[in-house]
Amino acid sequence: MKAEKYSKACMFLVLTITASMRMPAAGASAAPAPEVHIHIEGKQVLYIDGTVPGLSAGTVGLFDWWVAERLVFEAKGGRFRVPYEKITRVSYEEKRARRLGVITTLIVRTVKPPRRRHFLTIHFTDDAGQPQMAVMELAKDGVRASVEILNARSPRRVACGAAPCQPQYLARR
């Protein structure tokens, strides 16, 4: 009888803590609407955001690596071309796709392996000399090739955080 009360109390405590982690604090506004996540695969590239004229956020396309003089992103919604010498900075970042509470993470990880998202941020100057930037999400199959090609063709090396990217650090997941 005592053990049954103890287990019910523990269950109540766990549910209370889990529920309180999801509720906004008193006086705080409701949580913003969740981001729209578009699933990309293979060698697809997703234009997340940036200052490239003519491209809207959420555009899915491909990098055209056959053009040796410039980086070309082709999509149905538009395209952009940047000569490699006009690239001022390129950085690569890998982030976890889901951020969950401790208990939820333990449950989800037993069923689903953790997913990672791969971002490439490209800073460049356009033909008018204005600074521009594009944040792209790469499918995991295209990360290694994209970083290697950019390192080979661009005067700027791709940075992983504060250090240049080395092939052994790039994701193979």
Residue pLDDT, tens place only, 104-133: 656 656 666 667 788 999 999 998 999 999
pTM over 0.75: no
pLDDT-above-70 percentage for the chain: 61
Whole-number pLDDT of residue 111? 65
Residue 24 within any structural domain of the chain: no
Residue 31 within any structural domain of the chain: no
Residue 15 within any structural domain of the chain: no
First-to-last C-alpha distance (Å) of the chain = 49
Tally of structural domains, the chain = 1
Phi first, then psi: what are they for 87, rounded to 5°? -75, 125
CATH number of the domain residue 119 falls in: 2.30.29.30
Each residue's pLDDT tens digit, 72-89: 999 998 889 999 999 999
Whole-number pLDDT of residue 37? 63
Q: Answer for the pair 45, 137: CB distance below 8 angstroms, yes or no.
A: yes
Gyration radius of the chain over CA positions = 22
